Amino acid sequence: MEAGRWRAWPTTWIGGGLLLLVAALTVGLYYFYHPYAELTADTPSYLEFARQLRETGNPINVFRLPIYPLFILLVTAIAGSTNLFAVSIAQGLLYILAVLEFYLLTCLIFRRAWLAFVVGLLLASNVILISYSKLLMTEGFSLWLLLTICLLAVRILQDGCWRLLKWLTLCLGLLFFTRPEWAAFPVLLYAYLLWMRYGRERLRPLLLRLGLPLVVLYVLLGGYVLGNLFINHYSGLTYVENMNLIGKVMQYQMQNEAPPQYESLRRVIDDNVRHAHLTPYQLVARHPELGRDNGRQMGEFARAIILRHPLEFGLKTVPMLFASLTSYYPVSTLPPPPGAIQHGWIEQVVNALLTFHRLLYACNILFPCCALLWLILLCWPRTRRLPAVQGMGLLSLAVLFAWTLTTLGGYFLSDLMRVHTVFDPLIILIVWGTILAIPTRKAWRMTVP
């Protein structure tokens, strides 16, 4: 950011330093409140993949993607192979770094240090996001990656700082090899950069500059899929896709709309929906034959129903989209280990912050209106070239992309709440950045150099 464009660097760094202090104190308080590694039902599969990497070096697994297990492996190689709390601490440090990146991102978009500080406080003190980032799961790691991607992309968008493109490409690869729903995001992001930079730069160099990283990313993605096909006989990233699809069919009670050739499977699924109420994984445990070939039959069954009734599936998804924005579930953890020290005053502070941010979480319902406003401004020629409009347009599209895909794939609101933590910081920025910036039009009505 050039001095002639924004002369607020001393104020910016003071605000950033204060935010880092608040984030460090909040993370520290929460970790003192829960001074142990917190696991979920999915954690053992990541630990098993980390063991696979350590013992065989094979980076391909049909159930989980490799980057987060590699992160676990790297941390435990330094801290000790059984020290899982060190992994949790590393994720806490990444959360503090994410707060700083969030602050700088807001500064880049609105050019107002006070606004960035106020919005940044909502992330720095957010014990809801900290609690989910602390779990031995991919959400905290992915949250940091996504904010890094957005910060790099907005910098390139505004200044044409193409030397950052290699780092942007690296982070995109790390993200979609951590969470598969982000695999198509590079296409959206690079198309957006092409659209916004076209007119300031020549088309052919732009196409080459953005096309080559895309080729690299999808060659790697294709190579991983081929590896899964040859090693595990599954032509995809993970067979969790099959489980999610059958979970959606059961959630929407569409199992009776299957083609006739799936009659035997239909009866099993229908009996489960009506009486047993098992999750897809519990269903496979009860009926092991359904898990053969990485759940291929269940995946084909679900796809056949969805493709035959896409309108019904879409209409049933719409209410889930809005419910997922505000449905709150406290982080589900194992009970504290015996002898864990509990500090009463820390519990009071954490609970007070939790109450505040629980109320704040309800404001996520404003996201669709705020995103729509920025997209309208993005489509209006008179405002399209404003830096704030371009930056907020990018963030709005990123959240709309992830919000839609995660809702199409998740079949429990509790799970949707968990995966939303990856892009919840962007929702906070879109909602509260809009509320604070729109009335002060000087914060975003700036000409492009």
- pLDDT tens track for 275-321: 988 999 999 999 999 989 999 999 999 999 999 999 999 999 999 99
Give the mean model confidence (pLDDT) for residues 195-210: 87
What are the beta bridge partners of residue 198? 201
Residue that has been written with the tokens 């790297």 in this structure: 74
Q: Which residue, among 408, 402, 371, has the nearest Cα to 182 in the 3D structure?
A: 402
pLDDT of 193 reads 95
| Per-position DSSP letters for 244-303, written without gaps between them | HHHHHHHHTT-GGGS-GGGHHHHHHHHHIIIII---HHHHHHH-GGGGHHHHHHHHHHHH
Instruction: State the average pLDDT for the chain.
Output: 91
State residue 7 phi and psi, 5-degree precision.
-105, 55
Given a cut of 60, whether residue 6 has pLDDT beyond it is no
> Distance between alpha carbon 368 and the CA centroid of its chain, in Å?
17
Determine the Cα–Cα distance for residues 414 and 376; give it in Å rounded to an integer.
32
Query: Is the Cβ–Cβ distance between 290 and 297 less than 8 Å?
Result: yes
State residue 370 phi and psi, 5-degree precision.
-65, -45
State residue 278 phi and psi, 5-degree precision.
-85, 150
Given a cut of 80, whether residue 267 has pLDDT beyond it is yes
pLDDT of 81 reads 83
pLDDT of 344 reads 74
Percent of the chain with pLDDT over 70: 93
Helix axes 292-308, 263-271, angle to 10 degrees: 90
Determine the Cα–Cα distance for residues 391 and 247; give it in Å rounded to an integer.
36
Percent of the chain with pLDDT over 90: 78
**Single-letter amino acid, residue 403:** W
Give the mean model confidence (pLDDT) for residues 385-391: 91
| Per-position DSSP letters for 157-214, written without gaps between them | HHH--GGGHHHHHHHHHHHHTT-GGGTTHHHHHHHHHHHHHBTTB-HHHHHHHHHHHH
Given a cut of 80, whether residue 446 has pLDDT beyond it is no
- pLDDT tens track for 84-117: 999 999 999 999 999 999 999 999 999 888 999 9
Token pair in block for residue 130: 């900290």
Tallying the residues shown for the chain, one arrives at 449
Determine the Cα–Cα distance for residues 147 and 424; give it in Å rounded to an integer.
10
Mapped onto helix, strand or coil, the DSSP state of residue 237 is coil
Is the whole-model pTM more than 0.85?
yes
pLDDT of 335 reads 58
> Distance between alpha carbon 131 and the CA centroid of its chain, in Å?
15
